[in-house]
Structure 1
Amino acid sequence: MIANFFNKTKPIVFFILASLLFVYYILAIANFKFEAFSFLWLAQQFGFFVLIIGFLLISSFIIKKNTLTQNNSYALLLLVLLLGTFYEAMFDVPIVIANVFLLLGFRKVYSLRTISATKLKLFDAGFWFGVAALFYAWSIIFVLLIYVALIIFERINVKNLIRPIVGVITPIFIYFIYCFAFGSVNDFYNCWEFNFNVNYTSYNNLKLLLPISVSLAAVIWSIVTLTPKVSVSGIHIKRAWRIVLNHLIFAAIIIAFAPIKNGSEMLFMIFPFSVIITNYLRISPSENFKNLLLYLFLILSISVYFL
């Protein structure tokens, strides 16, 4: 059964999941994204897929390094299934690039649980979030997650408050100098057009309505079930849980204001969704329920290509 197979981390699991992701990618191209064939087009598609694999690898590293879940592959499985479900996310290049850089920043934020190299972590987190914002302006909201982490990990002091700001400003200033030097300052200003859209009628489409409804129901149920249990756990677990929840909140804000609502914006939500639901699956005593939930996400990820 699917729950039993992904209950452990094995080298073959990542290969299987990468292959499944490739199948989703090919299905999406064949059904919705195919253009006139050329070697340039083929190279672009290959490059996009490499970015997605990078997203998966960095997510896996963050989860394992910071023990956000136990020793299982449910989070990676859910990441792949959700990517397959919200297939538009695999083809929106600015959002994919922004999320890869955001993950590099999240890696530093979550690692603040240890006291080593705090100064560098704060600068690096701000730096990567600043780079991400150059590709997708709303990404700048995640800078607030750094300060939430400082509060949660009790690292508040004047220098620590300033370091993320310096980190954020650094890539933005470098890009401004680059644009100024080559007479393309307008390109810099265009990066900071915070266009927004609060019209959610596109979510009435079954391709989005069904997976969003199921994902929200699963994550809300997981939060309601897990939070009381986490509150009586060790301090490290409680702190990590609070950061994941705040991560989810900031992702929801970005999605709420995203100018284009076609499913690609859901990429911001996939990481915290997967971590939260995985932790619920970990405590679920019923193997049948685990299988049911995972098969439900699998069926959803396939059905969107036929709705």
Structure 2
Amino acid sequence: MIANFFNKTKPVIIVNLLLMFAIFYFVSVFYFHEVAFSIASLGIVFAVFLAFVFMLLLINFVLRKNNLTEDNSYTLLIIILLLGSFYETMYSKNLFFSNLILLFAFRKIYSLGSGFNTKKKLFDAAFWIGVSTILYAWSILYLILIYLGLIIFRKLSFKNLCIPIVGFLTPVIVFFTFHFYFDTLTVFYELFKFDFSFDFVAYNALKFLIPISLIIALLLWSIVALVPKIVLISNTFKLAWQVILNHLIISIIIVLFAPIKNGSELFFLILPTAIIIANFLQRTTSTTFKNMILYLLLAISVGVYFL
């Protein structure tokens, strides 16, 4: 059964997950997205695929390093199924690289609880958020997550409050200097226009409505079921859980404000959503229930290709 198979993190399971992702990726790219059959175009497709593989392995590293889930592959499985469900995420290169860069920031934010190299982690996290903001302006909101992390992990001090500002401004100033030198400052100013849209008409399509409805239901169910259990424990995960919830809230805000609503903006929700649902599944004693949820997610991730 699917729940038992992904209940561990073995190399063979990771390989199977990557093969599953490869199927979703290449079907979505070649079936729904026009790709010129040239060496250059195919090279870009395969390069992005390898970047996705790197992203998935990096996520697995972040999860293990910060104990955000137990020793299982549920999070990676759910991430891949969500990418398959919202296949627009797999050929929106700008959003993909923005989220890939943000992973380096999240790695630092979630590790603030360790108490080691706090100032370096704050600078690095803000630096990567600055780089991501250059690619996608609304990524700037994740600066809030750094300060929430400082509050949650009790690392507040005047220096710690200032360091993220310096870290964020470093790549932004370099970006400004580049365009100032080449007299293309209009490109820099475009970065901070912060266009937004509240037009959710696209979500009425069944290919969005069905998976989004399921994800909302699962998220609410998971949070309601987990909060009472996690509040009672006294380990470091309780603090990390607060960061995860705030990560989810900020991601929702970014999706709500996203200027283009075509499904690719849901990329920001995938990581916190997968972590929350994975934690819910691993604390569920019923194997039948776990299988039902995972098979339902699998069915929808395949079904959207026929809608």
The normalised TM-score by structure 1 is 0.98
Q: Any idea what SS the aligned residue of 2:305 has?
A: coil
Q: Any idea what SS the aligned residue of 1:304 has?
A: helix
Q: Which residue of 1 aligns with 2:149?
A: 149
Alignment check: 8 A CA contact 1:27 1:305 kept: no
> What is the CA–CA distance in structure 2 between the aligned matches of 1:34 and 1:157, rounded to whole Å?
51
Q: Which residue of 1 aligns with 2:19?
A: 19
Q: Which structure 2 residue ranges, 5 or more long, are not aligned?
A: none
CA displacement 1:226-245 (0-9 Å, x = unmatched):
00000001241210100000
> What is the CA–CA distance in structure 2 between the aligned matches of 1:133 and 1:36, rounded to whole Å?
30
Q: Which residue of 2 aligns with 1:35?
A: 35
Alignment check: 8 A CA contact 1:55 1:99 kept: no
Structure 2 residue 252 is the aligned partner of structure 1 residue 252: yes
CA displacement 1:80-137 (0-9 Å, x = unmatched):
1111111111111110011011110000000001111001000000000000000000
CA displacement 1:14-44 (0-9 Å, x = unmatched):
1111111110111112321133311111011
* 2:302 partner amino acid: I
* 1:286 partner amino acid: S
CA displacement 1:229-269 (0-9 Å, x = unmatched):
00001241210100000000000000001111111111100
Q: Any idea what SS the aligned residue of 2:194 has?
A: coil
CA displacement 1:29-65 (0-9 Å, x = unmatched):
2321133311111011112212222221221111110
Q: Any idea what SS the aligned residue of 2:236 has?
A: helix
Alignment check: 8 A CA contact 1:112 1:153 kept: yes
Q: Which residue of 2 aligns with 1:291?
A: 291
> After the TM superposition, which residues 54-65 of structure 1 pair with which residues of structure 2 at under 5 Å, given as runs?
54-65=54-65
> What is the CA–CA distance in structure 1 between the aligned matches of 2:285 and 2:235, rounded to whole Å?
24
> What is the CA–CA distance in structure 2 between the aligned matches of 1:246 and 1:279, rounded to whole Å?
16
Q: Any idea what SS the aligned residue of 2:183 has?
A: coil
> What is the CA–CA distance in structure 2 between the aligned matches of 1:240 and 1:134, rounded to whole Å?
28
> What is the CA–CA distance in structure 1 between the aligned matches of 2:90 and 2:256, rounded to whole Å?
20
> After the TM superposition, which residues 102-251 of structure 1 pair with which residues of structure 2 at under 5 Å, given as runs?
102-251=102-251
Structure 1 residue 12, shift from structure 2 partner:
1.0
Alignment check: 8 A CA contact 2:29 2:91 kept: no
Alignment check: 8 A CA contact 1:51 1:96 kept: no
* 2:128 partner amino acid: W
Alignment check: 8 A CA contact 1:128 1:168 kept: yes
Structure 1 residue 165, shift from structure 2 partner:
0.5
> What is the CA–CA distance in structure 2 between the aligned matches of 1:243 and 1:71, rounded to whole Å?
20
> What is the CA–CA distance in structure 1 between the aligned matches of 2:188 and 2:22, rounded to whole Å?
34
CA displacement 1:145-170 (0-9 Å, x = unmatched):
00000000111111000000000000
* 1:163 partner amino acid: I
Structure 1 residue 184, shift from structure 2 partner:
1.7
* 1:185 partner amino acid: L
> What is the CA–CA distance in structure 1 between the aligned matches of 2:166 and 2:200, rounded to whole Å?
36
Q: Any idea what SS the aligned residue of 1:231 has?
A: helix
> What is the CA–CA distance in structure 1 between the aligned matches of 2:29 and 2:219, rounded to whole Å?
29
> What is the CA–CA distance in structure 1 between the aligned matches of 2:189 and 2:58, rounded to whole Å?
30
* 1:46 partner amino acid: F
Alignment check: 8 A CA contact 1:129 1:142 kept: yes
Q: Which residue of 2 aligns with 1:267?
A: 267
* 1:86 partner amino acid: F
Identity of aligned residues (%): 47
Alignment check: 8 A CA contact 1:81 1:301 kept: yes
* 1:16 partner amino acid: N
Which runs of at least 4 in structure 1 moved beyond 3 Å after TM superposition? none
Structure 2 residue 35 is the aligned partner of structure 1 residue 3: no
How many residues of Structure 1 are paired with residues of Structure 2 in the alignment? 307
> What is the CA–CA distance in structure 1 between the aligned matches of 2:229 and 2:271, rounded to whole Å?
21
Q: Which structure 1 residue ranges, 5 or more long, are not aligned?
A: none
> What is the CA–CA distance in structure 2 between the aligned matches of 1:35 and 1:110, rounded to whole Å?
38
